[in-house]
Amino acid sequence: MVKRKLMFLALVATALLVWSTTAFAQEVSLLAEQLFRYHRGQDVFFMFMLVAFLMLFIKRYEWGVCLMTLLILSVSFPFYFAVKTIYFAEAWNMDLIILGVVCAITLVISAGMFLGQVKTWQYIIIALLFVVAYSINEWFLFTYLQGVADMGGSLLVHAFAAYFGYGMILSLRHKKIMDAPMKTTVHSVSFVWLASMLLWILWPSFTTGLLAPDQVIGGMLITYMALMGSTVITYLVLLAIQKKIDPLVYTYAILAGGVAIGSTVDLVGPWAAFAIGLLAGLISSLCFVYLHPTLEKAFGVRDVMGVHNLHGVPGIVGGLLAIPFAGSVQGVAVVGTFVIAIVTGLISGLIMRAIGRNEEYILDDSESFPMEDARTAESISIRGSGVSM
Amino acid sequence: MVKRKLMFLALVATALLVWSTTAFAQEVSLLAEQLFRYHRGQDVFFMFMLVAFLMLFIKRYEWGVCLMTLLILSVSFPFYFAVKTIYFAEAWNMDLIILGVVCAITLVISAGMFLGQVKTWQYIIIALLFVVAYSINEWFLFTYLQGVADMGGSLLVHAFAAYFGYGMILSLRHKKIMDAPMKTTVHSVSFVWLASMLLWILWPSFTTGLLAPDQVIGGMLITYMALMGSTVITYLVLLAIQKKIDPLVYTYAILAGGVAIGSTVDLVGPWAAFAIGLLAGLISSLCFVYLHPTLEKAFGVRDVMGVHNLHGVPGIVGGLLAIPFAGSVQGVAVVGTFVIAIVTGLISGLIMRAIGRNEEYILDDSESFPMEDARTAESISIRGSGVSM
Amino acid sequence: MVKRKLMFLALVATALLVWSTTAFAQEVSLLAEQLFRYHRGQDVFFMFMLVAFLMLFIKRYEWGVCLMTLLILSVSFPFYFAVKTIYFAEAWNMDLIILGVVCAITLVISAGMFLGQVKTWQYIIIALLFVVAYSINEWFLFTYLQGVADMGGSLLVHAFAAYFGYGMILSLRHKKIMDAPMKTTVHSVSFVWLASMLLWILWPSFTTGLLAPDQVIGGMLITYMALMGSTVITYLVLLAIQKKIDPLVYTYAILAGGVAIGSTVDLVGPWAAFAIGLLAGLISSLCFVYLHPTLEKAFGVRDVMGVHNLHGVPGIVGGLLAIPFAGSVQGVAVVGTFVIAIVTGLISGLIMRAIGRNEEYILDDSESFPMEDARTAESISIRGSGVSM
């Protein structure tokens, strides 16, 4: 009987051990998984801010871009968070934080298209409208449809941003924006180089943000290979067709590999990724040089930052490249994203037009900031202390 | 007997297994915990450097700020480290590295107040004095008192920095600093936007640096929500009272949510954090616009960077907001930090005054750098090679 | 019999448990180890980009440095990756990604020496030649030799970069580069401060990139202590011998501690590291001020960025400092790296000379970019749309 009791004891101990070890392991693993995501999530916030500096080349319109960026993040993230946790009653975790800033980054990319065409305070309203539009597309891609490949956001982020923006500029179009000067300075363009190069290196945190832990290292390699492909080809293409490199085309088009790899980041190998990058860089460069002026003339609109050339076409191409892996549902996803984006963009643009377009200070910091002195004496008065600086 | 031996064997195996699994799990867990802190710690070093760029707007006084920042870090960190490991014989680990750079960051925030009022080489002496003062307050808050809520440093860092600095400028005050010009250029202010926006995104690494692993993700969300609150409200407040946005108020006051959430980062939920951010941004904006000139006139001192408006008042407010959670000890902590900071600051300022204030090159890079050519031809001679550049 | 069966069951269960726990723990541990490296690896990519901004001070030669940097990364990384995975049939993992970007960073450091002395498109050829040369030295240090101490790359990266570059400029030397103007502007130098300070804080990710997890925190502390040593001493030395601080010497020499600690990052304690930093900063400063012009005159070559002063001499010193730990093999490693670097550099330089040096646009962005307008009106035409900006 003693033996039987001992035996029983041993079995109970074993069972407890199995249970506790597994439970412990899972708990650590879940927590560790969330913690591993902390820095990739923070990197996406970092990228959000850098998108502002990618747009900082217009002389006398630098601070306004930063202000707009900060407003968009600080309105769209809490609203997206409220929609998910209150309306849909989801619990929040690291994934939801990442999803929130991905929503915000999609809007700030999109805003590069209609920059200066609305007033600064109106970005608050646009942020609210955009969260609704974006949520519809998010639901369409991942709840209504099943099996869409888009872990790195070619469709959810890049294509949606570009075509929502296109809808906006079609609704907002007026002549003044076509005539607004876009001068640059050497240093304003140097900020663009900085932003582009830092976005380049942070890009894997964006494409791997929601991947399972064992896919992250591979996703990093795949993303970098795609970016290297677009970086090399953009140089060669621009050299071939323009002899000189337009810095504001180069700094943008080198990122096209990152845009286009978004739908296949967990599906292809490093050399296929390099090839996708070559293709995306080639297409994006050609869009900047040839498609951009053609479309502007055809529709009478200005895509201020050339968003369509970096995010629109390469995003669609990236989405289509996943068809061999995901099947026909991927084609439906591409078409659906295009339609939802352009329709919600058109509607949002009409609403903003009804509220009142920006017609006085187009691409001009003096809308929001005291710039009178800056124009004359390269110095401005700051702080409430009345000190002339 | 065979069975008994087998039984014994099984029990021993089980016991060993329990012991080894637990030991293994704890070892991994401790190491992993430290490694998870590596990047948050590095982020705090990153923030340290960015504080310099937040102060880089004064024309002809950009490099001097960077030089001062590097000297402060490279003197105060090793001295703090020596005090802890040699004098107090503590073992060093990741936490101590973070505590060391937090001490250094407190000083560089504080230095924003008396910038240009002491000579560059004197920051070496100030760093030594400050480590002693800071260590007294650290001991007061977390050893002498028990149960103070301040995981994100509203009191330890922000309030202490501001009132130590105020003590310094009260001791150092003289007329010349009041008359020093503070001109800006468009690009010098763009560096401030960059620094402010990157500090914004790195802030959660500061507030969660010493939190337990399972509190980190929550702390990140809470911190971002507080920052979003202050970012939105600062825009609205400045628009309401000034019509135009002063960029050097805006880029500072949007960070007030991060300052004020420091004491409650592990105690409140996301919407309470958003509300704290709204409150902090409102107060900080009003301090910049109204309190700042009033205090400067009343005391005859210049708070060069407006440290009191961003770190002083919002730091105190953040500390007070934890009273419902921590009880009356929190009130003692707030008052004690204020007193220790201002007294040690006054004493340090008197010592520096005895050594000799900076009266020749106030807010002027030509104190440390060969700027003669830069003033005339926008070019300076660099490197020992004698090449005129 | 029942008991025996139960006993057997218990034993099997225990055995399975032991096996599964260990297997699970190891799998998590391996994956976690790789994931812990993700961000340190990304930091090295970040540092790669920052090396460009460290070289951004030459007026009218800013964008060309960025372009060169991006081309080098996007050609050398895939080629190194191909050599390892295809020619040597190695499996790729996080370590290989880090090794690849470390190879690329070595080339971009080296390129600081012969910057502007070759044409931009020629960096593509140089990248291919360099990967071969670098791989020979990598094989020599870690396969041919055994027990060389160089976890943080004093020899593999810094010394090799400097002497490969020296070989290049000896082969490429011509009079025009000696006469090329190197003007600076206040803001171009501010970018150098930014780059130097961010490289400073990211440096531990470089030196600990390949360390075992339990050595990483120590490696971080050791690296920072070395950097603090060189930061303080550089200020004091330059103050003593030049009275004013040359910003382009200071921003470079403060990094010498990071260079010199590369061979002993896992071997010394924090105060020894501080002392190594003091030594390295002292030597580097003196090299910039005295050795640099002497060598340029003696050999008739221009080391454009002073690479020899920051990476060459401090790299060699760092390698030699590991002799007490690694023995005489370390001496062989130092000499061998020097010889391999300078010979492969000379050969590569002769090949590039045969292809044709850059003699038209030396240190001038107009080689690659449309700068005509920028020179006159501080504005340039951008984008293919024909808009004059």
Reported as a single tens digit per residue, the pLDDT across C276-298 is 999 999 999 999 999 999 999 99
Q: Which of A381-385, B42-46, C366-370 is most confident?
A: B42-46
Nearest to A382 by CA among B169, B292, B281, B53: B292
Cβ distance B379 to C17 less than 8 Å, yes or no, reads no
Q: Where are the domains of chain B?
A: 40-358
- Residue A184: its pLDDT value, please? 83
CB of C214 within 8 Å of a chain B CB? The answer is: yes
pLDDT at A386: 31
Interval B306-315 mean pLDDT: 97
Kindly report, residue by residue over A142-169, the tens digit of the pLDDT.
999 999 999 999 999 999 999 999 999 9
Chain B touched by A32 (CB under 8 Å): yes
Looking at domain B40-358, which CATH architecture does it have?
Orthogonal Bundle (1.10)
Of the candidates A36, A213, A246, the beta carbon closest to that of C382 is on A246
Interface membership of A67 toward B (CB under 8 Å): yes
pLDDT in tens, A248-277: 999 999 999 999 999 999 999 999 999 999
Average pLDDT for residues C70-81, to the nearest whole number?
98
Fold exhibited by the domain A40-375: Ammonium transporter fold (1.10.3430)
Whether residue B232 contacts residue A123, with contact meaning beta carbons closer than 8 Å, is answered with no
pLDDT at A21 over 70: no
CB contact under 8 A, A92 and B221: yes
Q: Which residue of C has its CA nearest to B6?
A: C7
Residue A290 forms contact with C (CB below 8 Å)? yes
Q: Nearest CB to C190: which of B56, B74, B383?
A: B56
Angle at A308 between CA A303 and CA A311, to 5 degrees: 135
Mean pLDDT value across chain B:
90
pLDDT over 70 percentage in chain A: 88
Chain C positions in Cβ-Cβ contact with residue A245 (cut-off 8 Å): 67, 368-369
Which of C383, C387, C389 is best to mutate for the A interface (most A CBs within 10 A)? C383
For residue A131, which residues of chain B lie inside 8 Å, CB to CB? none
Please report the pLDDT score of residue B185 as a whole number.
80
- Residue with the bigger pLDDT between B20 and B250: it is B250
Cβ-contact A380, A389 below 8 angstroms = yes
Please answer yes or no on whether C183 and B389 come within 8 Å at the CB atom. yes
Instruction: Report the C-alpha gap between C232 and C269 in whole angstroms.
Output: 19
**How much is the pLDDT for B379?**
39
Q: Which residues contact C17 (CB under 8 A, 6 or more apart)?
A: A14, A17, A18, A21, B17
Distance in Å, alpha carbon of A99 to nearest chain C alpha carbon? 20
CA distance A122 to chain B (A): 12
Chain C partners within 8 Å of B387 (Cβ) = 182
pLDDT at residue number A162: 98
B358 or B162, which is more confident: B162
A15: contact with B, CB 8 A cutoff: no
The predicted-structure confidence for B207-221, as pLDDT tens digits, reads as follows: 999 998 889 999 999
Of B40, B185, B246, the CB nearest to A370: B246
CA dist., res. A21 & res. A14, Å (int): 10
Mean pLDDT of A66-70: 96
Mean of all residue pLDDT scores within chain C: 89
| pLDDT band, residue A383 (cuts 50/70/90) | very low
Whether residue A385 and residue B292 make contact (CB cut-off 8 A), yes or no, is yes
Q: Which of A259, A257, A258, A247 is nearest to A288 (CA)?
A: A247
Neighbours of A335 (CB within 10 A): 12
Nearest CB to A232; choose among C24, C75, C370 = C75
Q: A-chain residues within 8 Å CB-CB of C48?
A: 201
Average pLDDT for C158-176: 95
State the Cα–Cα distance between residues C341 and C326, nearest whole angstrom. Answer: 22
Question: What interhelical angle do C328-355 and C160-172 show, nearest 10?
Answer: 30
Q: Which residue of B has its CA nearest to A63?
A: B190
Which positions in chain C touch B56 (Cβ < 8 Å)? 190
CB-CB: which of B40, B184, B232 is closest to A380?
Answer: B184
- How many residues are listed for chain B in this entry? 389
Residue B222 has pLDDT above 90, yes or no: yes
Residues 6+ apart with CB under 8 A from C307: C109, C110, C112, C113, C161, C162, C165
Residue of chain B nearest A15, judged by CA positions: B14
CA distance A25 to A23: 5
The answer to whether the CB atoms of C224 and B77 lie below 8 A apart is: yes
Interface test with C, best of A245, A254, A310 (most C CBs within 10 A): A245
Copy the structure tokens of residue A54. 């990618």
Q: What kind and span of H or E run contains A30?
A: helix A2-54
Domain topology for C40-355:
Ammonium transporter fold (1.10.3430)
Q: Using one digit for the tens of pLDDT, what is the confidence trace for C338-347?
A: 999 999 999 9
**Chain A interface mutation, best of B3, B50, B235, B286, highest count of A Cβ atoms under 10 Å:** B235
- The whole-angstrom distance between residue B207's C-alpha and the CA centroid of its chain comes to 10
Which chain B residues are Cβ-neighbours of C7 within 8 angstroms?
3, 6-7, 10
Q: Is B2 on the interface with C (CB under 8 A)?
A: no
Q: Measured between alpha carbons, how far is B277 from B300 in angstroms, rounded to an integer?
A: 31
Give dist(CA C385, CA A289) in Å, integer. Answer: 7
The CB density around residue A218, as the number of other CB atoms within 10 Å, is 21
Residue B266 DSSP class: T
The answer to whether residue B39 neighbours chain C at the CB level (below 8 Å) is yes
Least confident of A202-211, B252-261, B325-334, C3-12: C3-12
